[in-house]
Chains A and B, each alone.
Chain A
Amino acid sequence: MLDVSKRPAAAPAPPADKAPRSRRSTWFDLKATPYLLVSPYFILFSVFGLFPLGFTVWVSLHDWELAGDREWIGLENYTALLQDGEFWNSVLNTVGMFVLATIPQLILALMLANALNKRMRLRLLYRLGVLVPMVTSVVAVAVVFGQLFARDYGFVNWLLRTDGLDWTADKWSSWTAISVMVDWRWTGYNALIYLAAMQAIPRDLYEAASIDGASSRRQFWQITIPMLKPAIVFTTITSTIGGLSLFTEPVMFAQGDVGGGSLGQFQTVAMYMYENAFRHFDYGYASAVAWMLFMMILLVCFFSFLFTRRIGGEK
């Protein structure tokens, strides 16, 4: 057995200051400078993040035309929203597409990362290859996927022999098409995060496991997955945020229409918010939608966090 108890001794403590400076300058150096240096982020965040967040609450309590009249109506937007069939339809669509897109996406990313972590020829090329979807222009993606999933002369219909199937007509078909688009764009990104985390796992753990006779499958489940937990929690949360505020892909799928299909088959909450704000100019109502979306994301993130925390069977 290896003897791991002999570690290099800790670095010697730095020599004490020989010439103490004035107390105030030391205080400034130790206490204020760090805050000063991290402040730009927080200043920008409060201007572009926190303020709009609070302002949206204020707007959502009004009957507010985008650039016109405003009138205080309290929680009326929210009560109307809770009874709004179109809103709940968009919630259903969003959650449906989130589940349909995110779960396969993260599993696929994990498998991809595991494959990329192996020794192989042209490894760098493959690793860079997974980033290609991310650098592809959104417009090009829209055009290509529009052609792939076209009702007449579409590639997917040809491949599946489902001639004349209108992918925008049903919930299941439009959700599937959009999920494919989302996964195509984001699987590589998550795979890279997993790959980075995998490379940070100490090699000796695997060596020890091999010596103890663990199969590579067992090593994956008992070492890789538990060690990846922080990365999995991170990707789950970012995918939750991204999935629930899904906007670009379904809008592109509908060729720029935020209505999401003839009967709103794939209108997401973000699209519904946009439709209210910039098609009907009901800024107050759209703000209420935005807040409901925010709450929804917090809630789902909380549950995904609870769920992913249990990964690896830890208590």
Chain B
Amino acid sequence: MKSTRRSAAIAAVLAGVLAAGTACSSDDSGGSGEITLTVDTFGSFGYEELFTQYEKDNPGIKIEHRNEKEHEKVYVPNLLKYLETGSGAGDVVALEEGVLTNLRGQATKFVDLNQYGGAELKDDFLPWKWSLGQSLDGKSLMALGTDVGGLAMCYRTDLFEKAGLPTDRTEVAKLWPTWESYVDTGKKFQEKVPNTKFVDGLTTLFNAVLSQEAPKNGNVTYFDASDKYIADTNPAVKSAFDFVSGLDEQQLSAGLKSFTPQWQTGFKKDSFATMACPAWMLGVIKENSGDTYDDKWDVAAVPGGGGNWGGSFLAVPKQSEHPKEAADLAKFLTSAKSQITAFKAVNALPTSPEALADPEVKDAKNEYFNDAPVGEIFATTATSLQPVQLGVKNVDVRTVFEDILVALGQDKLSADEAWKKAVEDGRDKAE
């Protein structure tokens, strides 16, 4: 009797060990029909309506949307980790152009969309956007473009009125033909409205000015065409940096870093009155500000002429268990029709010539932004935008520069120290 009990105890213990060993494996593919596709996005893509429609048109497919607001420090590291370790990534993932550039040399990690009829879509995209989606060796189609980033300046009409500045968008644009006059306007503004800063933070403007300066210097920023680190010698980087450090000295910046929770709170607390806004930023502004600020934002031309900042792509990681279905979904989401829907939802400027020419885009007015003719402001310049050539380690270097700009805003570094440190730390990350 005694020994039976003992062996029972041993058996129970061993069973426990076995259970602990096998508890990790799970199976969620589900037998028949039902497929769940996970879509990873950052910021605002405006896909909610499209997901519902796709699920309705394609019974048996369920879409799980995982959105992360913060891009550089949360979304990108996680995505790279998933790709590196071969599991965890969504079936369709959104890639910002800098990240895509980083990954173009690693085409093996992504499904070649040509296998799923991607090649026929060539004419649906602006030529440069299409070629950015090719892998570095040109053999596979890694990603399809979602939007491009024409540049404008968003401003708060109610706060401008308080400061005695004009509120009409054409007159506002006349206030700042150049960045110098933009700074002057800022000084005037803050004299009247001392509790609100003129600019949200240094990082947003730095990226915007850099995207404007890049075309003047061969369309490159931190890296030249041969991927050599040139942040120290490229006048574009230096002038963008000098501009924002001057802005900091004039105390025009609220010192908020884009896409942080503090920055998001700032929208609702009148922390800042203007913000450089690429087309896709309008959706972000609307989402962060909420209904209370309906019609309080407007869009004017950006000082110093147009620029091209950002714009994204969709890709299907090879680790996806349903590459065909995922590719179909990516094709659907980047189709001209879907691009128009996304434009209407979050002002993501289409990259499809057909969508850009569509009256729904061309003549579009954005209700939230005081009926601003966003189609006219953004779409007309889209075809003339030039792609900025980014280095493989662009995101790493940009993160260094942004961190140091935050430190500059915190008065932890002088402008000189900040520039030297940014260039040096950037070089460390570039190598």
A positions within 8 Å CB-CB of B: 25, 29, 33, 36-37, 40, 43-44, 66-68, 146, 150-153, 166, 168-170, 255-259, 262-263, 278-279, 281
Q: A33-B6, A67-B84, A256-B73 are in contact. Are A262 and B406 (CB under 8 A)?
A: yes
When chains A and B are docked, how far (Å) is the Cα of A44 from the Cα of B23? 14
Bound Cα distance A68, B108 (Å)? 13
Contact B86 A67 (CB under 8 A): yes
Interface residues of B in 221-276 (CB under 8 A from A): 255, 260-262, 265-266, 269, 271
- Does chain A have a CB within 8 A of B74? yes
Chain B's interface: helix, strand, loop or mixed, by majority? helix
Cβ–Cβ < 8 Å partners of A170 in chain B: 412
* B271–A152 touching, CB < 8 Å: yes
**Among the listed A67, A68, A153, A279, which residue makes an inter-chain contact with B265, where contact means beta carbons less than 8 Å apart?**
A153
Contact (Cβ within 8 A) B85 A255:
no
Q: How far is the CA of A44 from the CA of B404 in the complex (A)?
A: 45
The chain B residue sitting closest to A37, CB to CB, is: B13
A263 to B13, CA, bound (A): 51
Which residues of chain B are within 8 angstroms of A168 by Cβ–Cβ distance?
410
Q: How many residues of B contact A (CB 8 A)?
A: 33
A37 to B11, CA, bound (A): 11
Report yes or no: A152 in contact with B74, Cβ–Cβ below 8 A.
no
A-B contact pairs, 7 of them (CB 8 A): A66-B85, A67-B84, A150-B265, A151-B262, A152-B266, A278-B81, A281-B80
Tell me if B31 counts as interface (CB < 8 A to partner A).
no
How many whole Å from A275's CB to the nearest CB in chain B? 9
Q: Does B121 contact A (CB under 8 A)?
A: no
Asked if B16 is at the interface (CB within 8 A of a chain A CB), the reply is yes
Known: A40-B16, A166-B410. A256 touches B70 (CB 8 A): yes
- In the complex, how many angstroms separate the beta carbon of A81 from the nearest chain B beta carbon? 15
A153 smallest CB distance to B (angstroms): 6
Given known A-B contacts A44-B20, A67-B86, A255-B261, A169 and B73 have beta carbons under 8 A apart: no
Complex: how many Å from CA A23 to CA B407?
76
| CB–CB B403/A279 < 8 A | no
Q: How far, in angstroms, from A44 to B18 measured CA to CA in the complex?
A: 11
A152 touches B17 (CB 8 A): no
Expressed in whole angstroms, the Cα–Cα distance for A43 and B14 within the complex equals 11
Residues from 365 to 423 in B contacting A, C-beta threshold 8 Å: 403-404, 406-407, 410-413
Chain B residues whose CB sits within 8 angstroms of the CB of A257 once the complex forms: 73-74
- Residues of A contacting B85 in the complex (Cβ-Cβ under 8 angstroms): 66-67
Structural contact, B265 and A152, CB atoms closer than 8 A: yes
Contact partners of B413 in chain A: CB under 8 A: 263
- Which residues of the partner chain B approach A151 to less than 8 Å between Cβ atoms? 255, 262
Contact status A43-B17, CB under 8 Å: yes
CB atoms of A262 and B404 under 8 A apart = yes
B403 close to A263 (CB less than 8 A): yes
A150 to B271, CA, bound (A): 14
Which residues of chain A have C-beta atoms less than 8 A from B74's C-beta? Answer: 256-257
In the bound complex, do residue B261 and residue A146 qualify as a contact, i.e. CB atoms below 8 Å apart?
Answer: yes
Q: Which residues of A contact B58 (CB under 8 A)?
A: none
CB B11 to nearest CB in A, in angstroms, measures 11
- Complex Cα distance, B16 from A202, in Å, reads 39
Q: How far is the CB of B227 from chain A (nearest CB, A)?
A: 18
Minimum CB–CB distance for B194 against chain A, Å = 13
Q: Report yes or no: B412 in contact with A262, Cβ–Cβ below 8 A.
A: yes
Of the candidates B20, B84, B403, B406, the one whose C-beta lies within 8 Å of that of A66 is: B84
Within 8 Å by CB of A278, from B77, B269, B404, lies B77
Smallest beta-carbon distance B404→chain A, Å? 7
When distances are taken between beta carbons in the complex, the residues of chain B under 8 Å from A66 are: 81, 84-85
Inter-chain contacts of B271 with A (CB < 8 A): 152
Nearest-CB distance from B255 to chain A (Å)? 8
Could you tell me the distance between the alpha carbons of A281 and B102 in the complex, rounded to whole angstroms? 14
> Are B10 and A36 in contact, CB atoms less than 8 angstroms apart?
yes
Are the CB atoms of B84 and A279 closer together than 8 Å? no
Closest Cβ–Cβ distance, residue B82 to chain A (whole Å) = 10
Provide the residues of chain A in CB contact with B16, threshold 8 Å.
40
In the complex, what's the smallest C-beta–C-beta distance from A277 to chain B, in angstroms?
9
Given known contacts A66-B84, A152-B271, A169-B410, A259 and B17 CB-to-CB distance under 8 angstroms: no
Shortest distance between the CB of A17 and any CB in chain B (Å): 12
| In the bound complex, CA of A257 to CA of B3 (Å) | 57
Q: Hey, which chain B residues are within 8 Å of A279, CB to CB?
A: 77, 80
Q: Who on chain A is nearest to B9 by CB?
A: A37
Most buried by A among B13, B271, B413: B13
**Are B73's CB and A259's CB within 8 A?**
yes
Q: Are A25 and B13 in contact (CB under 8 A)?
A: no
